[in-house]
Amino acid sequence: MRSSMSWEDLYPILLNGTLETLYMVLFAALFTVLIGLPVGIVLFITRPTGVFAMPKFNALLGTIINIGRSLPFIVLLIALIPFTRLLIGTTLGSTAAIVPITIGAFPFFSRVVENALDEVDKGRIEAILSMGGNVWHVISKALLPEALPSILAGITLTIVLLIGFSAMAGVIGGGGLGDLAIRYGYLRFNDQIMFGTVLLLIVMVQGVQSFGDYLVRRLAHRR
Kindly write down the DSSP assignment for every residue of 33-64, as one continuous string. Answer: HHHHHHHHHHHHHTSTTSTT--HHHHHHHHHH
> Is the pLDDT reported for residue 156 higher than 90?
yes
Cα 61 to Cα 42: distance, rounded to the nearest angstrom: 9
Question: Cα angle vertex 28, ends 215, 170, to 5°?
Answer: 120
pLDDT at 196 (0 to 100):
86
pLDDT confidence band for 1 (50 / 70 / 90): very low
**For helices 144-168 and 191-222, what crossing angle results, to 10°?**
180
The pTM is what? 0.91
Q: Which domains does the chain have, with CATH numbers?
A: 7-221 (1.10.3720.10)
Q: What is the mean pLDDT of residues 61-89?
A: 91
pLDDT tens across 121-130, in order? Answer: 888 888 998 8
Q: What is the pLDDT of residue 48?
A: 93
**Three-state secondary structure call for residue 4:** coil
Examine the pLDDT at 167 and tell me if it is beyond 60. yes
Residue 133 in this model has a pLDDT that exceeds 90:
no
Across residues 195-206, what is the average pLDDT? Answer: 91
Average predicted confidence (pLDDT) for the chain: 89
Higher pLDDT, 107 or 71: 107
* 180 φ, ψ (degrees, to nearest 5): -65, -45
